[in-house]
A = this chain, B = another copy of it.
Amino acid sequence: MRISKEKAAEHRRAIVEAAGRRFRGRGFDGVAVADVMKEAGFTHGGFYNHFDSKEALAAAACHDEIGRANLGLATELGRKGRPWERYRDQYLSAEHRDDPAHGCPVSALAADVARQPRTVQASFAAGVAAVLDTLAAHFARSSRDPRRRALREYSEMIGALILSRAVADADPALADEILAASRV
């Protein structure tokens, strides 16, 4: 049955959100279009009324997810105290490590993205560039080379989370140690 334009747009949004969660949790190739549609509350056949392909969905999900993450980072960095240190320490928590589906899309998908089609890479890269700009702007007051500091600190944070996730099941002590080393 046909659906109102408002409803349809709402459904599209629900699909992108479901995709964002699934992709972060299991990677692009670990998630079927039917999974996403089911999580969003639909059957799989209608997917192609909203997107040309799974690739287009991945690109849309990257755009939305990283955009939201960047907004969240900017908001946090606007607070008083040592906001970056707080943000980073929460990022490097066991909770974040153990729940990638609700965590940062950059650490969850960075490695996957390198093997995805160009449109997905473009969407992801634009998001990462924006995040790094946000971070560099924050360091502008406190650092002599804010841009470089942003890049290095971000790389370390991403790397620590990815490494910790890789060894978490087999060697929990090492996983915790990796996170702790990059905190504070």
A interface residues with partner B (beta carbon < 8 Å):
26-27, 29-30, 100, 106, 109-115, 118, 121-122, 124-126, 128-129, 132, 147-148, 151-152, 154-160, 162-163, 165-171, 174, 177-178, 181-182
Q: A110-B162, A110-B163 are in contact. List 16 more A-B contacts (CB 8 A).
A: A29-B30, A110-B165, A111-B111, A111-B165, A118-B170, A121-B166, A121-B167, A121-B169, A125-B167, A125-B174, A128-B167, A132-B174, A147-B181, A155-B159, A155-B181, A158-B162
8 Å CB contact of A174 from B118, B129, B163 = B129
Does the CB pair A166–B114 fall under 8 Å? yes
Q: Which of A29, A109, A115 has the most CB of B within 10 A?
A: A115
* Set of chain B residues within 8 Å of A128, measured between Cβ atoms: 163, 166-167, 174
Given A159-B156, A169-B118, A148–B111 Cβ distance below 8 Å? no
Does the CB pair B163–A178 fall under 8 Å? no
- Quickly give the copy total for this chain: 2
Does the CB pair B181–A148 fall under 8 Å? yes
Does the CB pair A167–B124 fall under 8 Å? yes
Given A152-B156, A159-B156, A170–B124 Cβ distance below 8 Å? yes
User: Complex formed: what's the CA distance from A124 to B113 in Å?
Assistant: 21
8 Å CB contact of A157 from B114, B124, B159 = B159
* Set of chain B residues within 8 Å of A165, measured between Cβ atoms: 110-111, 114
Does the CB pair B26–A171 fall under 8 Å? no
8 Å CB contact of A26 from B115, B129, B132, B168 = B115
Does the CB pair A182–B151 fall under 8 Å? yes
User: Complex formed: what's the CA distance from A129 to B174 in Å?
Assistant: 7
9 of the cross-chain contacts (CB-CB < 8 Å) are A121-B169, A121-B170, A124-B167, A128-B174, A152-B160, A152-B182, A155-B156, A158-B162, A162-B162
